[in-house]
Each structure stands twice: as structure tokens, then as C-alpha cells.
Amino acid sequence: MHKHFLALSDYKKDELSSWIDRAIALKAEAASGKPQQQLAGKTVCLLFEKPSTRTRVSFEAAMYGLGGQVIFMSARDSQLGRGEPLKDTARVLGRYVHALVVRTFGQRVVEELAHYAGIPVINALTDLYHPCQVLSDLMTVLEKKQHLDGLNIAWIGDGNNMANTWIEAAAIFGFKLKLACPETFTPDKDILQRAMKQAPGSIELLHNPQAAIAGADVVNVDVWASMGQEAEQETRLAHFSGYQLNAALLGKAKAEAIVLHCLPAHRGEEVSEEVLEGPQSVIFDQAENKMHLHKALLEHFILQDSRA
């Protein structure tokens, strides 16, 4: 039975932590110049229905960096775009490659592909979750803060796929998460309820950015309109008034707080230029870590059978 990586909540803390630890080791190994060839002879297919800069290139660089091969396919250029069923696409691709990395709209799509593919499927962002991103963000937090226990992490903005994934991360890893989201843009209710039950007292949903950021060690922001919501961009702007992470708001966090943004960023909307380019911002280390974390995931999921 192949394992997939569709949501953080499918795994326990120890296993997720082991992938972060492995990514940190692979990063050090790559920096030392040691050749990494463990995926030689293996091929991954990236099937993307939404645009991507970081996730696509970091997965491709990770796979090539481990000696493997990559086939990129935009779903709209494939027969999926003409209505070929997911279950047929999954079974065909499963005969050609060793893993699928999928970016799409519905979580149901990655679940169906995983059900039929016969090879590991990795979620590279859906409307519901962005698990690879949050795992590499946790790697960045660990690098900067050395631990997660007792940290206060703030989420300021939309209750989107990233927020949902941070909520699951808080329930699994046990750090404190305070979210500030406008009343109409709150995270997924089921995810929130489940996580609050799993880790009572760890997660708070507020509607006041100042209250959520007060005393934070880590501050997270993301765009106010995610991919697929472009038509709502203008109406959303009004709802997020007061939610911009600028110097005044960041001043309420701890002085040594770090700022994370998964990028792409809309300067002057969810974050000011001053904060994004300022000394507390770790966004480019954060972006780099995606590649190291993706190496760890590809290695783990593609080699899982040979380790069994």
C-alpha cells in the first residue's frame, strides 16, 4: 500500500519531524558538496492546474538534485483539460513515473488521484491545504528559533489553505497559534474544530490583528485573494482593511519575532514593503527551504517501497 502526502493531519508529529530533520541534513550535505544520487533512475511527474514559481522549481530542482528526472504537465494542456477522468489519468501516469506531485483546486482531486495512481501522490497545494509549504516553513522556524515548543505563532489575514494547514500543524506540534481573520474569511470550520479538540487551548481564532500578534515569536502572512479568487480581489480589499502587516502592527510582536510569507506577496496589501524587506523578514530563507524539504519528501515517498 503506497503512502501519500495529502494533508499534515494524515501523519503524527514524529514522522513529520523526521522529514524536517532529514531536510536539514540534506541541506547541510548539499552545502558540503556531497553528491546526492539516491533517486537516480526515478521519475516524478508534476501535474499542475494552478500557476507556480517556487513549488514547481523547488520540486524540479530537488528531484534533479537527487539524480532523478522530472516531467512537468500543466493540467490544462493534458487530456484532463478535455474531460478525461481522473481515475484513468491516475492509472496511466502510475505506469510511467514513480510519484505524482499535484497542484489543483479541490482536495478531492488529490484524493482521487492517490486512490487510483498506484504510486505516491504529494499535495503541492489545493484550495484546502498547502502541506509541503507549512512543513518547510516549520523547518525555517526551527532553524531560526531552534525549537517549536512554547512558541507563539500568529496568522494575520485570510482563513485560506495556508491558515488551514497551520491550524493542523499547531494541533500536531503543540505550539500556540493565534489567527486573526475577518469574520467572513475564517478558516475551514471542520479543520478548526478538529484541531481545537485535538489540542485544547493551543489555537485561538480572533478578528483583531493586534490581539493575535501580541507577543508573537513568528508572524505569518499570505495574500488576501488566493489563486482562483482573483475576481474577488477588489471586494476582499475592503474586508481586510486593518490587516496589513506593517511596522506598527509588527511592533506588537516580540522584538525578535520573525516574519514568514509563503510568497508571492502583494506589497502594500497584506504586507508593507518595509516589513517584507526588513530585518525580521526571513522570506528568502523560507523559499530556499522548500527545495530541501521537497528533497526529503521525494526521497521518503519514492523510496518507501525499497525500504519496506
- Binding residues for ligand CP, rule: CB under 6 A, are 52-56, 125, 133, 262-264
Binding footprint of ligand NVA, residue count (CB under 6 A): 10
- Closer residue to ligand CP, CB minimum distance, 53 or 210: 53
Which entry of ligand CP, ligand NVA, none binds 162, CB below 5 to 8 A by partner kind?
ligand NVA
C-alpha cell at 300: 521518503
- Closer residue to ligand NVA, CB minimum distance, 158 or 299: 158
State the minimum distance, in angstroms, from the CB of residue 291 to ligand CP.
12
Cα separation, 299 vs 98, in Å, equals 11
Cα separation, 267 vs 204, in Å, equals 27
Count CB atoms within 10 A of the CB of residue 59. Answer: 27
49 binds ligand NVA (CB under 6 A): no
Q: How many CA atoms lie within 13 A of 261 on its CB side?
A: 25
Which entry of ligand NVA, ligand CP, none binds 281, CB below 5 to 8 A by partner kind?
none
* Three-class SS state of 203: strand
Count CB atoms within 10 A of the CB of residue 294. Answer: 29
State the minimum distance, in angstroms, from the CB of residue 87 to ligand CP.
26
Per-residue contact flags (x/-) with ligand NVA for residues 82 to 121, judged by CB under 6 A: ----------------------------------------
227 binds ligand NVA (CB under 6 A): yes
Cα separation, 131 vs 140, in Å, equals 14
Q: What are the strands of the beta sheet with 218-221, ordered from one edge?
A: 203-206, 176-180, 152-156, 218-221, 258-261
- Closer residue to ligand CP, CB minimum distance, 52 or 123: 52
**Which conformational region is residue 268 in: left (phi greater than 0), alpha (psi within -120 to 50 degrees), or beta?**
left
* Vertex 115: Cα angle to 45 and 7 (nearest 5): 75
Q: How many CA atoms lie within 13 A of 280 on its CB side?
A: 24
State the minimum distance, in angstroms, from the CB of residue 227 to ligand NVA.
4
- Closer residue to ligand CP, CB minimum distance, 56 or 295: 56
- Determine contact, residues 121/107, Cβ cutoff 8 Å: no
Count CB atoms within 10 A of the CB of residue 50. Answer: 18
Instruction: Find the binding residues for ligand NVA in span 231-290 (CB under 6 A).
Output: 262
- Closer residue to ligand CP, CB minimum distance, 117 or 132: 132
Which entry of ligand NVA, ligand CP, none binds 226, CB below 5 to 8 A by partner kind?
ligand NVA
Residue nearest to ligand CP (CB): 55
Which entry of ligand NVA, ligand CP, none binds 223, CB below 5 to 8 A by partner kind?
ligand NVA
State the minimum distance, in angstroms, from the CB of residue 55 to ligand NVA.
7
Any residues with CB less than 8 A from the CB of 23 and at least 6 apart, and which? 136, 139, 289, 292, 293, 295, 296
- Determine contact, residues 176/218, Cβ cutoff 8 Å: no
State the minimum distance, in angstroms, from the CB of residue 304 to ligand NVA.
26
Stretch that binds ligand NVA, among 5-13, 98-106, 222-230, 252-260 (CB under 6 A): 222-230
> Which residues contact ligand NVA by CB under 6 A?
125, 130, 160-162, 222-223, 226-227, 262
